[in-house]
Structure 1
Amino acid sequence: MSTYTVSGRFQSRDGFQPFTKDVDAESESLARERIYTLVGSQHARKRTQIEIDEVSTA
């Protein structure tokens, strides 16, 4: 498993909020899925309200 740093933004009441998170995943696509799950559940946002700008290995 590798550690990926994912950055992007999600829609909130005041506009867009930026985020940067580190996640452990087997591939870049699984890291994206994990971010959709984490940010969506923490901030009550749907996938369409989350924009991922960059995924890189840490």
Structure 2
Amino acid sequence: MSQFTVSGEFQTRDGMQAFTRSLDAVNENVAREHVLSKFGAEHNLNRTQIEIGEVVAE
């Protein structure tokens, strides 16, 4: 597995909040799905409220 850094923004009551997450994943698509799933669970967000800016392999 590779290390990926995913960055982007998610919607809050006050506007958009930036985030950066590092995680291990098989490929870039799996890293994106993991971040969408995790933010949805932690912040009670829909996928449309999360914007992924970039995914970088380290």
Shorter-chain TM-score tier: over 0.9
TM-score (norm 2): 0.96
What CA distance in whole angstroms lies between the structure 2 residues aligned with 1:22 and 1:38?
Answer: 12
SS where residue 9 of structure 1 aligns? strand
TM-score (norm 1): 0.96
What CA distance in whole angstroms lies between the structure 2 residues aligned with 1:36 and 1:45?
Answer: 9
What is the identity percentage for the equivalent residue pairs of Structure 1 and Structure 2? 52
Q: Which runs of 5+ in 1 are unaligned?
A: none
Give runs of ≥4 in structure 1 deviating > 4 Å.
none
SS where residue 19 of structure 1 aligns? strand
Query: What is the Cα-based RMSD across aligned positions, in Å?
Result: 0.6
Q: Which runs of 5+ in 2 are unaligned?
A: none
